[in-house]
Chain A
Amino acid sequence: MGKPILILFLLLSLAFLVFSSSIYKDDTVYEKKPVAYDAALQKEGRLIWQKNNCHVCHQLYGLGGFLGPDLTNVADKGYYYIDAFLKVGINSMPIFNLTEEESLHLFEFLKATNASGSANPKDYTILMDGMIVQK
């Protein structure tokens, strides 16, 4: 019994490695909205998002914590709107003392998430096979 099990184990592992590496190498640009952002700065902004734990309360594409709203498309509301929340806080959201540079990087990141598409469930249609796609 041992050998067929080992072979099956290795075959599945191989398939996993092939699938994974195709994902790592994929350089397609998945963007649905014409929003311009600085590609280098958004990478930094991602780290600001992490260092300040925004995901504890907020979601990106519905993934994250649920105390605050989804922020995938919040960049539509503009830099000053977001900056005001960071400076003042609201309900359980604390005041974040970000430097201006950090705020700007964070905003570039939120522009990048916004460019990628809409996280609003209303913007999806249901296909015949049960799959959903963004309109």
Chain B
Amino acid sequence: MKLTKNIGTLFLITALGLFAASIFFGFLASIIYRYPEFLKNSLGLIKLRPMHVSAALFWILLAATGSIYRSLDILTKKKTYPLLQKIHWGLWLLAILGIFYSYATGSFGGREYWEYPPVFAIPIGLAWLFFLITFFLKVKSIKKWPVYIWMWMTGIVYFLFIFIENYFWVLPYFRESFIKDMVIQWKAAGSIVGAYNMLVYGTAFFIMERISKKANTGFNTWAFALFFLSFFNMLFNWGHHLYLVPTNSTIHYVGYIVSMTEWVFFIKIIYNWKKQVTEAEAFYHYYPYRFILAFNCWLFFNLTLALFMSIPFINLYMHGTHFITAHAMGTTIGINTMILLAALFFFLVPKKEHHQSKFLNTGFWGIQISLLIFLLSLMTMGFIKSIWFFEEPQALFADMMERMKPFTFLFILSGMSLFLSFLGVISGLVYTLFKKHS
């Protein structure tokens, strides 16, 4: 088939499959919050959550990889190093098959977000090494780097470093002190998100530059200033996960102070509001743009939430509750997934006329509305738990969970509608893709 000839495209299609798997497992997992016996003896949350989370994570990593490969083909006007790219893809395939086989058979051993047995970190790490090498070989010919190439480079290099740090625990030395181990775990967990965000944000930047046809935006001083601010935060803001963990107070203060520099993003978004509105009027009917617009709105929502959570005394009331889930899912869906769906439409169905359909429009709005209800129900659940933390005398854990029930139900319902809306958009995309290629 013509589609799979280009390895960038192959990455995008593999990623789309993982995305479909992720939302399916996520939907099944959500039911357990209301019906604890659901699938308990076959899959259970113990298998479903890793399946859901790993598929989501791999969707982001592979879709970003595919987008970067496709962008570099466009930028360099050449399709170079196909063999390296093929090995890169093959290593990922090996890892994914092994990991899902392990999950299905109940074999774990890793940590949160990376639950598979640690040997599978080897093919992933190697795949990443191939990515790094191919990337540098490909960008060699680009003399002046626009900001998105800097972002991709930073994301690729740091992902590899942090991914290795993420496995320090394999050495007994790092498990000697529970607190130190925990600090390194959440240091890596925090900054690895920053690293793949670099890949995704770089892609958003590239796509927007192409849509608006203003080729110099990638060299804008503001663009570089914001890049360095995100880079700085990626390296040093992770301490905000650890305010409750009794470790060295320097870690807490560095996390606190660095996180507060993110208010600059907040102000910048408000400042750019008007420009955004004129842009939206011009490009609204173009699908890739519409998802970028959705990303901008969710960025504002999630950034506001994150900024408040990074203030320690507010964090005290939100930490350990579903506010964290809302934050994690809000960013993976609202930010990463919106950008990557924009990328899929941009790279896979480039012609404008394919984008308009009632079906896709319904899916698009279904996603946005369901996501809002989904996040608000999670936040309400978080609120209920937070009150329980501080109440005197404290009710039983099970009673507190009982209080959440109506919102748990809303969480499942909106999750289902989110799942169906995404499925609609995915099938719409696949349909236009096949129509184009047949």
Q: Do A and B come from one complex?
A: yes
Tell me the chain A residues, 101-122 only, with Cβ under 8 Å from chain B: 109, 112-113, 116-117, 119-122
Interface of A is mostly: mixed
Q: How far is the CA of A70 from the CA of B244 in the complex (A)?
A: 13
Q: How far is the CA of A67 from the CA of B37 in the complex (A)?
A: 13
A15 and B32 contact, CB distance less than 8 A = no
Q: How far is the CA of A30 from the CA of B177 in the complex (A)?
A: 8
- Within 8 Å of chain B (Cβ to Cβ): is A1? yes
Selecting from B38-46, B272-280, B286-294, the interface stretch reads B38-46
User: In the assembled complex, which residues on chain B have CB atoms less than 8 Å from the CB atom of A116?
Assistant: 178-179, 246
Question: Considering only CB atoms, which chain B residue lies closest to A54 in the complex?
Answer: B46
Contact digits for A8-43, partner B, Cβ 8 Å, 1 yes 0 no: 110011011001100110111110100000010011
B183 and A66 contact, CB distance less than 8 A = no
Do A132 and B246 contact each other (CB < 8 Å), given the known contacts A53-B46, A55-B112? no
- Within 8 Å of chain A (Cβ to Cβ): is B319? yes
Q: How far is the CA of A1 from the CA of B150 in the complex (A)?
A: 12
B178 and A91 contact, CB distance less than 8 A = no
User: In the assembled complex, which residues on chain A have CB atoms less than 8 Å from the CB atom of B111?
Assistant: 50, 55
- Within 8 Å of chain A (Cβ to Cβ): is B228? yes
Q: How far is the CA of A109 from the CA of B316 in the complex (A)?
A: 25
User: Separation in Å of the A133 CB from the closest CB of chain B?
Assistant: 8
- Within 8 Å of chain A (Cβ to Cβ): is B187? yes
A53 and B50 contact, CB distance less than 8 A = yes
A130 and B311 contact, CB distance less than 8 A = yes
B247 and A119 contact, CB distance less than 8 A = no
Contact digits for B239-268, partner A, Cβ 8 Å, 1 yes 0 no: 001111111110111101000000000000
Do A124 and B184 contact each other (CB < 8 Å), given the known contacts A53-B46, A64-B112, A130-B256? no
Question: Considering only CB atoms, which chain A residue lies closest to B107 in the complex?
Answer: A51
- Within 8 Å of chain A (Cβ to Cβ): is B186? yes
User: Separation in Å of the B370 CB from the closest CB of chain A?
Assistant: 21
- Within 8 Å of chain A (Cβ to Cβ): is B359? no
Do A62 and B50 contact each other (CB < 8 Å), given the known contacts A12-B232, A47-B109? no
Out of A23, A112, A122, name the residue touching B184 (CB < 8 Å): A23
| Most chain B CB neighbours (cut-off 10 Å) among A15, A116, A121 | A121
Question: Considering only CB atoms, which chain A residue lies closest to B150 in the complex?
Answer: A5
User: Separation in Å of the B43 CB from the closest CB of chain A?
Assistant: 11
User: In the assembled complex, which residues on chain A have CB atoms less than 8 Å from the CB atom of B32?
Assistant: 67, 92
B108 and A50 contact, CB distance less than 8 A = yes
Do A92 and B253 contact each other (CB < 8 Å), given the known contacts A28-B248, A60-B182? no
18 A-B pairs besides A30-B247, A130-B311, A132-B316 with CB distance below 8 A are A2-B144, A19-B254, A23-B251, A29-B177, A51-B108, A53-B46, A56-B46, A62-B320, A62-B321, A62-B324, A65-B45, A66-B322, A113-B178, A116-B179, A120-B389, A121-B317, A126-B316, A132-B244
Q: What is the interface of chain A, defined by CB distance below 8 A to chain B?
A: 1-2, 5, 8-9, 12-13, 15-16, 19-20, 23-24, 26-30, 32, 39, 42-43, 46-47, 50-53, 55-57, 59-70, 91-92, 94, 109, 112-113, 116-117, 119-122, 124, 126, 130-134
Closest A-B pairs by Cβ, 5 of them: A62-B320, A92-B36, A117-B246, A91-B36, A30-B179
Interface CB pairs A-B, < 8 A, 8: A1-B144, A9-B150, A23-B180, A57-B45, A62-B244, A92-B37, A92-B45, A119-B320
Q: What is the interface of chain B, defined by CB distance below 8 A to chain A?
A: 32-33, 36-37, 40-41, 44-46, 49-50, 108-112, 115, 144-145, 150, 154, 165, 168-169, 172, 174-184, 186-187, 219, 224, 228, 231-232, 235-236, 241-249, 251-254, 256, 311-313, 315-317, 319-322, 324-325, 385, 389-390, 397-398
